[in-house]
A and B are shown apart, each in its own frame.
Chain A
Amino acid sequence: MAVKLYGIAMSTCTTRVMTCLHEKGVDFEIVPINLSAGEHKQPSFISKNPFGQIPALEDGDLTLFESRAITKYLATKHKDKGTDLLRLDNLKEAALVNVWLEVEAQQFNPPISALVYQRMFSPLFGGTPDEKVIEANAEKLGKVLDVYEERLSKSKYLAGDFYSLADLHHLSYTYYLMKNPEANLINSRPHVKAWWEDISSRPAFRKAAEGMTA
């Protein structure tokens, strides 16, 4: 029975999971959730994710939510298949992957998700981008990317000289950032720019990005 992924093709968190599924060569069926009809707040979806957010994943009788937990599960279950995303056979490398996974979740994600929301998703719901929020978060994100620039001048990818889940988790939001003026935050930092060009050209991501038409 194929894995079922509940979500939509343009959602950053859904594509985070899709990219991981492609990297591992795992078949899956996407089950669209109609956000504008409020399907994600209906009992049938809430029973899969009580927080009422996409994506959710069903693998047999196991139901998971939170995209970063889903990708870790997939990368662990299928560790010997496709790309080695967690480096589980090497305790030190695995530890560094975890550090940079947390950096994405705690340092990178808050400012970039605020930026992308203002630029891309607020207008979809009839709102106007808040320039003050954009400016404040662009500054925050710039400081985080200064650390990335330094890091990536010493290693090809974030956790070391190997592509890992830590790099993958950055793809979806950065893809949308690059469609906005704040792309300069990436383009003005040569090592970050080179890293972005590398990770965004991977076939697994290009496949997932086909649906990212927000």
Chain B
Amino acid sequence: MALKLYGLPMSSYTTRVMTCLHEKAVDFEFVPVNLFTCEHKEPPFLAKNPFGLIPVLEDGDLTLFESRAINSYVAHKYKDSGTDLLRLSDIKEAAAVGVWMEVESQQFNPAITPIIYEFFVAPISGKTPDQAIIDASAEKLGKVLDIYEARLSSTKYLAGDSYTLADLHHLPYTFYLMKTPWASLIESRPHVKAWWEDISSRPAFKKVAEGMKFGEE
């Protein structure tokens, strides 16, 4: 029985999981969730994710949520298929992947999400983007990217010289950032820019990026 992924093709978290599934060459069935009718807040969906958020992955009788946990599961279960995303056969490499996955989660993500929210999501709810929030977040993100610039001047990818889940997790939000004036945060840092061009040109992500048309009608 194929995996079932519940979500939307333009959602950052859903695309994070879809990219991982493609890298591992794992078949899955995509089940759209209608956020506009609040399907994600209704009991049938809440039974899958009590926090009412997409995506959700069903693998037989196992139901998982939180995109980063879903990806860890997929990368573990299918560790011998497709790209080696977790470097599990080397404890030191795997530890470095773990560190940079947490960096994405704890340093990068909180700095980038307010920019994406204000620029893309707020207007949909009829709100004006809050420039003060965007400016503060851009400053924070700049400081994080300074550290990435230094790191990527000594390694090809974040955890070392191999592409891993730590790099993959950055794809969706950075893709959207590149459609805003704050793409300059990436473009102005040569090693970060080269890293971005490399990871965003991988076939697994290009496939997913076709559906990422947030705000473009």
A interface with B by C-beta (< 8 Å): 50-51, 62, 64-66, 68-69, 72-73, 76-77, 91-92, 94-96, 98-99, 101-103, 105-107, 110, 144, 147, 150-151
Contact of A95 among B64, B94, B102, B147 (CB under 8 A): B64
Assuming A73-B98, A95-B69, A106-B66, is B106 touching A66 (CB within 8 A)? yes
Minimum distance in angstroms from B90 CB to a CB of chain A:
11
Neighbouring B residues of A110 by C-beta, 8 Å: 110
Q: Which residue of B lies closest to A102 (CB)?
A: B66
B interface with A by C-beta (< 8 Å): 50-51, 62, 64-66, 68-69, 72-73, 76-77, 91-92, 94-96, 98-99, 101-103, 105-107, 110, 147, 150-151
Minimum distance in angstroms from A14 CB to a CB of chain B:
15
Q: Are A65 and B94 in contact (CB under 8 A)?
A: no
Closest 6 CB pairs of A and B: A102-B66, A66-B102, A69-B98, A98-B69, A102-B69, A69-B102
Q: Are A105 and B106 in contact (CB under 8 A)?
A: yes
Q: Which residue of A lies closest to B52 (CB)?
A: A147
Main secondary structure of the interface of A (DSSP, over half): helix
Q: Are A69 and B92 in contact (CB under 8 A)?
A: no
Assuming A105-B106, A151-B50, is B99 touching A98 (CB within 8 A)? no
Contact of B62 among A76, A95, A107, A150 (CB under 8 A): A95
Main secondary structure of the interface of B (DSSP, over half): helix
Neighbouring A residues of B77 by C-beta, 8 Å: 91
Q: Are B102 and A99 in contact (CB under 8 A)?
A: no
Neighbouring A residues of B66 by C-beta, 8 Å: 98-99, 102-103, 106
Minimum distance in angstroms from B10 CB to a CB of chain A:
20
Q: Which residue of A lies closest to B88 (CB)?
A: A76
Q: Cα distance A102–B64 when bound, in Å? A: 11
Minimum distance in angstroms from B209 CB to a CB of chain A:
23
> What number of residue pairs across chains A and B have CB atoms under 8 A from each other?
75
Contact of B99 among A69, A96, A107 (CB under 8 A): A69
Q: Cα distance A52–B92 when bound, in Å? A: 22
Q: Are A106 and B147 in contact (CB under 8 A)?
A: no
Q: Cα distance A76–B99 when bound, in Å? A: 14
Q: Cα distance A110–B92 when bound, in Å? A: 29
Neighbouring B residues of A68 by C-beta, 8 Å: 102, 105-106
Q: Are B51 and A69 in contact (CB under 8 A)?
A: no
Q: Are B105 and A62 in contact (CB under 8 A)?
A: no
Minimum distance in angstroms from B43 CB to a CB of chain A:
12
Q: Cα distance A150–B43 when bound, in Å? A: 14
Neighbouring A residues of B72 by C-beta, 8 Å: 95, 98
Q: Are A105 and B105 in contact (CB under 8 A)?
A: yes
Neighbouring B residues of A102 by C-beta, 8 Å: 66, 68-69
Q: Which residue of B lies closest to A106 (CB)?
A: B66
Of B64, B69, B96, B105, which is in contact with the most chain A CB atoms at under 10 Å from its CB?
A: B69
Q: 11 A-B pairs, CB-CB below 8 angstroms?
A: A50-B150, A51-B147, A62-B95, A64-B96, A68-B102, A69-B99, A73-B91, A91-B77, A94-B73, A98-B72, A110-B110
Minimum distance in angstroms from A29 CB to a CB of chain B:
19
Neighbouring A residues of B147 by C-beta, 8 Å: 50-51
